[in-house]
A and B are shown apart, each in its own frame.
Chain A
């Protein structure tokens, strides 16, 4: 299994440009997540999905959009890039069932700079 893969690894955007960060998992996990990590900070949840066709906002959703048309893919869209969106973006997935925690597996991250 490849686990959670993310593309691209690095990207530089100009203010106002748009882009899609790709995330794919091959573990048949039902839950998927997008986080951002600013320098010296912890992870903040942007959006998450509990299954194909279902998405919900996290802590910092403004400026982003997501879709979940398949179990495997969970792309994150930036429509009008702003310098405040310069960050490292992590995608994660987990197989969650019942009331207990199931481990979130993380991708390697996408480093985005908006100039």
Chain B
């Protein structure tokens, strides 16, 4: 099935560093989403993007919807230990007739060294 290319696959950083990850697709989307999954939990939505070029922040997190509608990135500034987890991108092309299925990336595993 269709899948997004998410990179990097994993990151190990020092506390206080900034983090950047991205997703690319061969298809255009009208929705990009970024989720975080803590160990042993289900994913939780961090940021939703609905418009090409849109730049949205949620605290220390910033995400952008690429102009081509085929990519998105997520930045985390000044990382802290609780940022540890797996970050997933997900995309979809929603219209009035479709069924709201998301296409998921494989995730970026983030480890933060205090």
Q: Is the CB of A101 within 8 A of B99?
A: no
Q: Is the CB of A58 within 8 A of B101?
A: yes
How far, in whole Å, are A90 and B105 apart by their CA atoms in the complex? Answer: 16
Is B104 an interface residue when CB atoms closer than 8 A count as contact? yes
How far, in whole Å, are A42 and B106 apart by their CA atoms in the complex? Answer: 4
Q: Is the CB of B44 within 8 A of A41?
A: no
Is A77 an interface residue when CB atoms closer than 8 A count as contact? no
Q: Is the CB of A106 within 8 A of B43?
A: yes
Interface size of A by CB at 8 A reads: 29
A108 partner residues in chain B, CB cutoff 8 A: 40-42
Q: Is the CB of B94 within 8 A of A104?
A: no
Is A69 an interface residue when CB atoms closer than 8 A count as contact? no
A-facing residues in B44-62 (Cβ within 8 Å): 44-45, 48, 50
Chain A interfacial positions (CB closer than 8 Å to B)? 4, 31, 40-45, 48, 50, 56, 58-60, 90, 92, 94, 96, 98-104, 106-109
> Can you name 30 A-B pairs with beta carbons within 8 Å?
A31-B100, A40-B106, A42-B6, A42-B88, A42-B104, A42-B105, A42-B106, A42-B107, A45-B102, A48-B99, A48-B101, A58-B101, A59-B1, A60-B1, A92-B42, A99-B94, A99-B96, A100-B31, A101-B33, A101-B92, A101-B94, A103-B45, A104-B102, A106-B42, A107-B42, A108-B40, A108-B41, A108-B42, A109-B40, A109-B42
